Structure 1
Amino acid sequence: MVEKPGEGLTKEQVDFYQREGYLVLPSLLSAEELNPTKEAMNDKVSMIANELFKDGLIKDRLIDRPFERRLAELFKDLTEKDFLKYGVSWRDRHPGYFHLMSHPKILDVVESLIGGEIFSNPLYNTRPKIPKVAAGAVPWHQDKSYWPGAKSNPVITVWIPIVDANEINGCLHIKPKTHRKRLLEWHREQDTGAGYTALRENQLGNTPSVVLPVKAGSAIVFNDRCLHMSTPNHSEEVRWSVDLRYQPTDQDPMTDRGIGFLARSRKHTERVATLEDWLANRPEHLDESS
């Protein structure tokens, strides 16, 4: 049985995305719908707190501190090196992330752009941008620079803030209409300790950038060739976000980067991966009874 398509995007929204290379969807997900993702983040923060405590780097795990502040306060008196030990992005196999990546509202949006055969790319990220860490500032780049040899196009990024993202805590900046550019020659920056791929000033062109402050649960959708960046976090809280990636099922699954999964199929609904499949690193559901 083929699932009934959801609401997805309007024609005007699809036209805007095709023309500008990005689209903002305010309040796509409710606070309740974000809770499983926050649970995944909280579990990782608790693990980090336990390690820091065991190593004698902190005296208090700050268990009672609010979600928005706890990670920032754990590292308040530590060094950037202490933070970078855990990486600038996380890719844990936690049910809360599968819940988000397979959420019907997100898949409806993606289906409007690439059709109903949707593969969830293995390169999803949880990004905790904490104050006073240089790696929080991500330079101008194209996502495609992280998989330059992959034969995949289009790859669509769905960027979702778990807290409000603004100009103080480091929201996204995008250069519209740059999604039709080829992959530009990039380099590894040396300023943040994270080794981000980056573009030089003379590669950015004259296209004015657009600042995109958005509320928690909103989504910014953009093409993997669209130039974008984010600024440092000058607040006292963590700017939590996730970036998810999707592509048509007939494109390169990038197995050298990890195992993605079949998130939606209008042709083969029985093969869509379940949580159990994803946790077991299976890209599709196998019906053992057949």
Structure 2
Amino acid sequence: MTAGTVVTDAHRTSFARDGSYRLDAFASPEVGQAMLDDVVGLTRAQPRDLDGPLVLPEANLAGSGGRPEEVTSKVFKLHRRTHFARFLASRAVVDVVVNRLGPDIDCFLSQFIFKNPGAWGQPWHQDSYYFPFRPARPVLGLWLAVTAATLENGCLHVLPGSHHEPVHEHIDDRRPGANLGYVEIVDHDMSGAVPVLMNPGDLLVFDSHLMHRSTDNDSDGIRAAMVFHFAAAGTEDRTAEVLGAPSPVHDWVPVVRAGQSVLDGAD
């Protein structure tokens, strides 16, 4: 893991201008592999802990699949588990999130994305659409590449500067059979979008208003990633008020207080 102060003036400039920046080789490939191994074990566990991680099936695959992880789309609520908490407790992660959100920070969302062969991409969206919070901003996302992210296997595409936009109208994904919860923006010009190619261990840091999408996985392997979202301590989660029920995937956990990690990397 990168040590010391990892956020430079160039990163701050990129974030202000584009809404994101990438930290190459932020974590060792072994860090992502440990996360992958843990999540694979969760998908295979029977019976599952109903109060623990939430496993979502994949609606679209190249084949019928065999093992549980081969038919899984995402696994949520992981940041209390050892490998994930240890990552969040690292000095490098603390430096990244404190730089944007201040000294007191909670992690409220974590999801492991398998992106198995044949899995569809997720349409253009802003993550803040899913986050009816008060205050609404800032919310920060960290996207850790567990495997390589390529054009063939469905890497992210981002629209630089779109984080300056308000949250746009999102409509339900118009593709029949799309994954649960997929929505899309159709009222904005995305012609300036760029792909984000990543190696295992690379980290994308992005604003929750940044418009982004992923494409289909046309390769023979998974395009795995681990994603965390953070907000300043004291942020009010209004999901229950707005939608009539709490979010089943939100889990607010203090991770930084007074600029220091308060996690010990244990369950």
Note whether the superposition's TM-score is higher than 0.5. Answer: yes
CA displacement, residues 136-175 of structure 1 (integer Å, 9 cap, x when unaligned):
x100000011123553311011111101111011111000
The residue matched to 2:40 in structure 1 has which SS? helix
The one of 201, 209, 212 aligned to 2:196: 212
Q: 1:149 to 1:249 in 2, by over 3 A?
A: closer
Which of the pair is proportionally richer in helix? 1
Cα distance, 1:101 vs. partner?
A: 2.9
Q: 1:152 to 1:273 in 2, by over 3 A?
A: farther
Match of 1:176 in 2: 160
Structure 2 length-normalised TM: 0.79
Which of the pair is proportionally richer in strand? 2
Q: Which moved more, 1:6-15 or 1:139-148?
A: 6-15
The one of 98, 101, 105 aligned to 2:88: 101
Q: 1:39 to 1:179 in 2, by over 3 A?
A: same
Match of 1:249 in 2: 233
The one of 179, 184, 190 aligned to 1:193: 179
Cα distance, 1:109 vs. partner?
A: 1.2
| Pairing 1:64-83 to 2, within 5 Å after superposition | 77-78=63-64
2:111 maps to amino acid: N
Q: Which moved more, 1:160-169 or 1:189-198?
A: 189-198
The residue matched to 2:123 in structure 1 has which SS? strand
Cα distance, 1:232 vs. partner?
A: 0.6
Match of 1:223 in 2: 207
Structure 1 length-normalised TM: 0.73
Counterparts of 1:42 and 1:261, CA distance in 2: 23
CA displacement, residues 177-213 of structure 1 (integer Å, 9 cap, x when unaligned):
010111111112142132312111xx22265001110
The residue matched to 1:138 in structure 2 has which SS? coil
The one of 28, 37, 40 aligned to 2:38: 40
The one of 129, 139, 152 aligned to 1:155: 139
Q: Is the 8 A contact 1:174 1:226 kept in 2?
A: yes
Q: 1:150 to 1:129 in 2, by over 3 A?
A: farther
Q: 1:188 to 1:212 in 2, by over 3 A?
A: same
Unpaired segments of 5 or more residues in structure 1? 52-71, 280-290
Q: 1:242 to 1:150 in 2, by over 3 A?
A: farther
Cα distance, 1:133 vs. partner?
A: 3.0
Counterparts of 1:188 and 1:173, CA distance in 2: 20
Counterparts of 1:175 and 1:140, CA distance in 2: 9
1:124 maps to amino acid: S
CA displacement, residues 104-142 of structure 1 (integer Å, 9 cap, x when unaligned):
212211112222222112x211101011233xx100000
Q: Over the residues paired in the alignment, what is the CA RMSD in angstroms?
A: 3.1
The one of 259, 262, 265 aligned to 1:272: 262
Match of 1:118 in 2: 105
Cα distance, 1:42 vs. partner?
A: 2.9
The one of 238, 254, 263 aligned to 2:255: 263
Q: Which has the larger radius of gyration?
A: 1
Q: 1:90 to 1:119 in 2, by over 3 A?
A: closer
Q: What is the percentage of aligned positions where both structures have the same residue?
A: 20
Unpaired segments of 5 or more residues in structure 2? 49-57, 240-245
The one of 97, 117, 135 aligned to 1:131: 117
What number of residue pairs does the alignment pair up? 242
CA displacement, residues 235-258 of structure 1 (integer Å, 9 cap, x when unaligned):
111111011111221322568333
Counterparts of 2:253 and 2:77, CA distance in 1: 14
Match of 2:6 in 1: 8
2:5 maps to amino acid: E
Match of 1:31 in 2: 29
1:205 maps to amino acid: D
